[in-house]
Structure 1
Amino acid sequence: MFDPDTVVAIDIHTHAEEPCGTHADDGYDGFQAGMAAYFRSPFKHPPTVPETAAYFRERRIGAVIFPVDSERETGFRRYNNEEMAELAAEHSDILIPFASIDPAKGKMGAREARRLVEHYGIRGFKFHPTMQGFYPNDRSAYVLYEAIAEAGVPALFHTGQTGVGAGMRGGNGMRLKFSNPIYIDDVAADFPDMQIVMAHPSFPWQEEALAVATHKPNVWIDLSGWSPKYFPPILVKYANSLLKDRVLFGSDWPAIMPDRWLADFEKLDIKPEVRPRILKENARRLLNI
């Protein structure tokens, strides 16, 4: 089982790219190639869950791992949450499984969420409004949020611009508007006991994200998807002060390599007493471990 005392950090944001061990749908290779080019990925093929576990175990970094259920919006078959959870369970010393459910699944999605928490050890849920094509404050999503809130696990939302579809024709049909973090404000107000993580520096809406997080005590920010050397000064300022207890290390593996992220974080002007909170202690409180 995962022991937080044995790791040097907890990465709150890693992707399960190939948990099913099968070739992706036709068309998905082009999408992955676009992503690899945008992030300058060193991988010829997306890493499997066991490969991900081996990488993080070698570095003594715990990893929250999840798929993204975006099949309705993208046409790419989703990776089965149960299968990913079973693979993560085989590496429970280092992996912490989150699931992903398209909110459009409504009550069926809520049933799935409850089953995943109860029977598969799922510790949270990942949403990607741009890939899933929905506004986070759309009331149709609330039945799923209710199940997550009842389970007492966090919900993690992509915010800001995304590398998904970047540079591809028409952005591969992805619409950035859905990922403005201001829409999280309604969710945080309507579900005050559900812990919410806004993923990434929320370019071009960084100040909206900081406003929501400082106003709503159940909202956190993860720092994934960007090298720390590109963080806007206002984000660093808030991470060092008002939000020091609700900012989280995240890499966005395999798009951003943790080695690179951590090396650049070392050079960032973060107070010594804040650094361990961001790297591990805040995640321990969020995940209740």
Structure 2
Amino acid sequence: MEWTEWRRHIDQVVKDEGRWIGLCDGWGKPIMRMPPHLNLSAPESRFAAGTLDLTVQTLMDGVVSPVVDHMVAEGLGVFDETGALIVKDNIVDMIAVVTRGFKRGYVTSYPVAQGGDLAPTSLKVHGTDLLDLLQMWVCPSVPQSWVPNQEIWLGDVVEYETPREVATMEFATVADGFTMSGPAEDTIKTLIQDSFDSVNHQNGWSATPHLVVDMTPTGNESPHVNIRVQDQMISETVFPIAQMAGVNIRVELWWPGDDPVLVRTPDRQSTVLTSWDRAIGVVKIEQIGG
């Protein structure tokens, strides 16, 4: 189905039943609605990736749900003596949990099919929400140097046996001069978007980013912070400061048809309301307060 058809279906299910749970591809586009769930647990915790534990019924009236064919690849394992099968340890699917005014994506791993001699009767799925991506995204100390500057270096230059494509980037070697200061909410938004831009530029992803920062201000008074940037991950650099400053950070799944998002323009001088033709992760950074 196209996005308009998916949105019509999902919005109707949410209106009628209060929640839609679906399987998406690794980019967040819906593939199918998940079969009825037997168990669902999705606790949230500030500054820690939320987890999803979902068990769905896969055998109903003698018919096996197509989710089994998608998530349980043939030949990747065998049933053990308990009737459990762990499969696809490199899975890149996503589970979307959609309620009224809320949409969260969970990157899945290690689905476990259980029961049944001929076909599994249930499937357990574990996942982590998109905030976990900030634990794997570097926060450059000199983001201006992270531009597309790859060049072919011959082996006798860098002692490689074969030519390799490399790029020059600057890194912090001392603490002085690598600190961002200002109101917590605005400074954290700028730092994270700078990090996204730098890595996207370096890898040629600028035209198709998969994470953006929502620049919409809360209007709440935000304390002054100093954030030392030392080429660690975003979570290591930002989360401790955000927690002390009372700034909340979460990542929501955005789909075509959702309201436009206020994002920074490529020249970094202004902001513009933007929509995309694909799913994207939107980082919400909000100062808590009155």
> Fold conserved (TM > 0.5)?
no
Greater per-residue helix proportion: 1
For the pair shown, the structure with the greater C-alpha radius of gyration is 2
TM tier relative to shorter chain: under 0.3
Greater per-residue strand proportion: 2
Q: Structure 1 length normalisation: TM-score?
A: 0.24
Q: Structure 2 length normalisation: TM-score?
A: 0.24
